[in-house]
């Protein structure tokens, strides 16, 4: 009887500890959303809007970013900064995740292609806003880790694959929206081809040691493509055989 009581007490303490930790993470996400709002307001000269869509901010409040970073960096998970995730890669700064997601102007029925799964965090954010996300990661170890984490956390509408994202995912094309989370010196022609008429793509363009800019690509209903250079950014380079 004593052993059973001790077990129940330990279980209760564990539950309370977990609940308190989740409450703390939620408070940190709430504060992060406010910092994102403030940052966007300060940089609206570079952007197409003074505000981030409320749906995007609600998802930032919901998705547990700490679950997508290595354990030793979890105490920094809700700071508005990129963090290392291994293999020379990073999880993007939350404000950049919010801005890029907002620029896509997502609709629930959209099918989205992400180039550079990385930690899986951006894919998780997208997954709460659209029906299907297809995400490609070239680093095999990151592909395996992010795939496990997305499945473990219940993001079942994300399909992942290991491969060179420069060439897109032709078997699943065309896509309503495309997002690229690594910088390239130019916009990959294969991705423009795989973007549906009426679609939007957001990606960083520029060299590794040169100035990079976030670029919005719009393909109109007739297939004509226009680009718009927005705010300066700094991303890890897109890698692969290209």
Residue 238 counted as domain residue: no
- The model carries a pTM of 0.89
Residue 229 counted as domain residue: yes
Assess whether pLDDT exceeds 90 at residue 4.
no
21-76 pLDDT, tens digit each: 778 999 999 999 999 999 998 877 778 778 899 999 999 999 999 999 999 999 99
Assign residue 95 the CATH number of its domain.
3.40.50.150
Calpha distance 205→233 (Å, rounded): 9
Cis bond before residue 174 (omega within 30° of 0): yes
- Which parts of 87-163 fold into alpha helices (H)? 94-103, 121-127, 140-152
The residue segments making up the domain with residue 136 are: 2-233
Calpha distance 204→227 (Å, rounded): 12
Report how many domains make up the chain: 1
| pLDDT value at residue 11 | 46
Residue 90 counted as domain residue: yes
Residue 48 counted as domain residue: yes
Residue 240 counted as domain residue: no
170-209 pLDDT, tens digit each: 999 999 999 999 999 999 999 999 999 999 999 999 987 6
Residue 242 counted as domain residue: no
Give the other-Cβ count within 10 Å of 52's Cβ.
Answer: 22
Residue 141 counted as domain residue: yes
Asked whether 144 and 220 are in contact (CB, 8 A), the reply is: no
Q: What percent of the chain has pLDDT over 70?
A: 90
To the query of whether residue 92 is one of the catalytic residues in this protein, the response is: yes
Calpha distance 64→113 (Å, rounded): 21
Assess whether pLDDT exceeds 70 at residue 5.
no
Chain centroid to CA 28: 18
The catalytically annotated residue of 5, 17, 19, 92 is 92
Q: Which among 112, 79, 115 has a CA at the least distance from the CA of 94?
A: 79
Calpha distance 42→45 (Å, rounded): 8
């Amino acid at each position: 009887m004593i052993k059973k009581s001790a077990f129940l007490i330990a279980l209760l303490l564990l539950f309370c500890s977990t609940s308190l930790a989740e409450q703390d993470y939620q408070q940190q996400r709430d504060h992060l959303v406010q910092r994102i709002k403030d940052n966007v307001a300060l940089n609206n000269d570079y952007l197409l809007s003074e505000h981030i869509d409320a749906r995007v901010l609600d998802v930032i409040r919901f998705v547990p970013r700490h679950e997508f970073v290595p354990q030793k960096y979890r105490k920094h998970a809700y700071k508005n900064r990129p963090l290392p995730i291994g293999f020379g890669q990073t999880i993007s700064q939350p404000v950049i995740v919010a801005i890029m997601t907002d620029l896509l102007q997502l609709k629930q029925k959209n099918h989205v292609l992400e180039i550079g799964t990385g930690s899986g965090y951006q894919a998780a954010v997208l997954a709460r806003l659209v029906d299907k996300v297809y995400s490609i990661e070239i680093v095999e170890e990151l592909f395996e880790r992010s795939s496990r984490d997305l499945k473990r956390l219940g993001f079942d509408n994300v399909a992942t694959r290991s491969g060179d994202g420069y060439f897109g995912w032709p078997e699943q094309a065309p896509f309503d929206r495309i997002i690229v989370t690594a910088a390239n010196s130019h916009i990959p022609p294969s991705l423009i081809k795989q973007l549906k008429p009426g679609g939007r793509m957001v990606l960083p363009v520029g060299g590794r040691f040169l100035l990079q800019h976030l670029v919005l690509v719009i393909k109109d209903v007739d297939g004509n493509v226009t680009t718009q250079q927005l705010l300066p950014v700094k991303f890890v380079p897109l890698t692969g055989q290209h």
